[in-house]
C-alpha cells in the first residue's frame, strides 16, 4: 500500500510537471504526457501501477518526487500546483454529481481515442472541454503560472487542461490508496526512499 501511495503521488507530480513545463516552455516530455493522458481512461485498473501502464509509466513523476522531496532546491510553483490539485480533488470527492459527469464524459472521449488515438489534438480538446465543464467550476480554481505567450495559445491551453484532468485522476487514486496531506507532510523521507526503489525497478523493467 505504501508503494501504491508513492506511485499515485508520482502520477500527480508527473501531470503537474507536464502542465508546468507546457505553460513555461511550450512543451514537455512527450512520453510522460501521453502516459498521464492514458491514465484518465483506466478508471477501474487492478492496481496503482496499472493505472499508468506499469511502474515505468511514472518514471518522470518519480524523478520529480525525488527532486521535490530530497533536494534543497525545490520548485515552489510546482509544489503550489500539486497542492492546488489535491485540494481540488477533495472538493470533487464531495460532489457525486460531478464525479458521475466526469465518468460519463471520459467514456464518451474514449470513443474518440479509439478512432483518432490518444495523442490526437481532438482528444486533448475534448478532455480540456470536460475539465472546463466540470472541475474548473469548483472553487478555488487551480492557478497555472507560466509564459503569457504560451498561456494565450489555445492549443497549449487545451493540453494544460487535459493534463490537469490527468493530475486530478491521479489525486483520486492517491486518496483511494490512503493518501492524505498529513501523510504527505510526515512521510516525505519515506516516500523519497520508496521512489528511489521504484525508479530502480522501472529501469530494470525497461531492460
For residue 15, what is the domain's CATH number?
A: 1.10.3890.10
Q: How many domains does the chain have?
A: 1
Decide if 66 contacts 195 (C-beta within 8 A).
yes
Helices (H) and strands (E) in the chain, counts: 11, 0
**Cell numbers found for residue 64:** 520529480
Q: What is the pLDDT along the chain (207 residues), one digit of tens a residue?
A: 899 999 999 999 999 999 999 999 999 999 999 999 999 999 989 999 999 999 999 999 999 999 998 777 789 999 999 999 999 999 999 999 999 999 999 999 999 999 999 989 999 999 999 999 999 999 989 999 999 999 999 999 999 999 999 999 999 999 999 998 888 888 889 999 999 999 998 776 654
Asked whether 14 and 60 are in contact (CB, 8 A), the reply is: yes
Report the alpha-carbon distance of residue 49 to residue 57 in Å, rounded.
Answer: 8
Quote the domain boundaries for residue 16: 2-205
C-beta separation of 159 from 21 below 8 A:
no
pTM of this prediction?
A: 0.95
169 CB-near residues (< 8 Å, 6+ apart): 11, 39, 40, 51
Q: What's the grid cell of residue 122?
A: 481532438
Amino acid at each position: 500500500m505504501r508503494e501504491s501511495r508513492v506511485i499515485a503521488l508520482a502520477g500527480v507530480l508527473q501531470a503537474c510537471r507536464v502542465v508546468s513545463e507546457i505553460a513555461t516552455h511550450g512543451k514537455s516530455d512527450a512520453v510522460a504526457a501521453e502516459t498521464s493522458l492514458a491514465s484518465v481512461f483506466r478508471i477501474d485498473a487492478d492496481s496503482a501501477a496499472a493505472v499508468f501502464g506499469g511502474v515505468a509509466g511514472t518514471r518522470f513523476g518519480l524523478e520529480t518526487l525525488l527532486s521535490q522531496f530530497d533536494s534543497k532546491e525545490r520548485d515552489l510553483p510546482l509544489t503550489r500546483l500539486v497542492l492546488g490539485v489535491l485540494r481540488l480533488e477533495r472538493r470533487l470527492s464531495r460532489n457525486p454529481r460531478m464525479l458521475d459527469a466526469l465518468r460519463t464524459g471520459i467514456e464518451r472521449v474514449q470513443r474518440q481515442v479509439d478512432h483518432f488515438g490518444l495523442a490526437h489534438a481532438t482528444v486533448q480538446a475534448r478532455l480540456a472541454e470536460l475539465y472546463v465543464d466540470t472541475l474548473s467550476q469548483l472553487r478555488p480554481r487551480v492557478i497555472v503560472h507560466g509564459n503569457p505567450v504560451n498561456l494565450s495559445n489555445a492549443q497549449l491551453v487545451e493540453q494544460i487542461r487535459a493534463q490537469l484532468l490527468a493530475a486530478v485522476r491521479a489525486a483520486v487514486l492517491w486518496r483511494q490508496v490512503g493518501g492524505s496531506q498529513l501523510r504527505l507532510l510526515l512521510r516525505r523521507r519515506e516516500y523519497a526512499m520508496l521512489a528511489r526503489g521504484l525508479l530502480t525497478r522501472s529501469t530494470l523493467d525497461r531492460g
